[in-house]
Amino acid sequence: MGWLIYLSRKMEKAKLISYINYEVIHLKNFFIILIFLAISACSSIPKNTQDSCAIFEERYLWYKYSKATYEKWGVPIHIQLAFIKKESDFNWLAKPPRQKLFKVIPFKRPSSSFGYSQAVKGTWEQYKKETENPLATRARFKDSVDFIGWYVNKTTKILKISKKDPYKQYLAYYKGWGDYKNYSRDKKAISYARSVREMAKKYRKQLKQCQKNLDKNKYIIF
């Protein structure tokens, strides 16, 4: 009889372990789904990227991050948005289109640009090192606006360009600090910088209509 009792207890223990494992697996799946939904909610492209108020009404945390960047680096919020609008149109997974061989076969991408700010790997690594932010990622809006603040701040130090000048700041962002002096020969860069300047003006005008309400809002809304 002793061996029957022992066997019964072993079976009960095995059933308990099996049940616990089953519940743990389902709990893990539940949390994975929650994390996925949270990331999707935070990272999807806003419905109206032409309107700064609409962007921040839909993504209130983005306003908090942009404001924090302004307070830290002195880069106006409307300029931050204009840069991201031009670089990625607020697509967190944006990459340069692949080049094509013989105009047909997909080839490599022209650069390592990625994310909201379209920062290249080398400059991003420099940013992480100088700001002591090793976990920063180009697919995160908070890190992307902080990167733009850091870059514009360095541009002001290196090239003596005002942080409130979206045209020249974007030229330096697009060309790089070393090649900025040659921007006058780059018609594409000039065209892009002009569009950033106009977008910044538009965002600034819109923000005047809603910034007081955004500052009053203390709730965290995704």
* Lowest mean pLDDT segment, chosen from 24-28, 139-143, 150-154: 24-28
Q: What does the alpha-carbon distance between residue 125 and residue 137 come to, in Å, rounded to a whole number?
A: 10
Q: What does the alpha-carbon distance between residue 196 and residue 75 come to, in Å, rounded to a whole number?
A: 14
Q: What does the alpha-carbon distance between residue 128 and residue 143 come to, in Å, rounded to a whole number?
A: 10
Q: What does the alpha-carbon distance between residue 117 and residue 138 come to, in Å, rounded to a whole number?
A: 7
Q: Given a cut of 50, is residue 37 above it in pLDDT?
A: no
- Domain covering 48-216, topology: Lysozyme (1.10.530)
Q: Are 83 and 89 in contact (CB under 8 A)?
A: no
Please give the radius of gyration of the chain, using alpha carbons only, rounded to the nearest integer.
Answer: 24
Taking residues 186-209, what's their average pLDDT?
Answer: 98
* Lowest mean pLDDT segment, chosen from 23-27, 65-69, 85-89, 102-106: 23-27
Q: What is the pLDDT of residues 39-84, one digit of tens each?
A: 444 558 999 999 999 999 999 999 999 999 999 999 999 999 999 9
* Residue boundaries of the structural domains of the chain: 1-43, 48-216
Q: What pLDDT does residue 112 have? A: 85
Q: Which residues, 6 or more positions from 89, have their beta carbon under 8 angstroms from its beta carbon?
A: 45, 49
Q: What does the alpha-carbon distance between residue 195 and residue 188 come to, in Å, rounded to a whole number?
A: 11
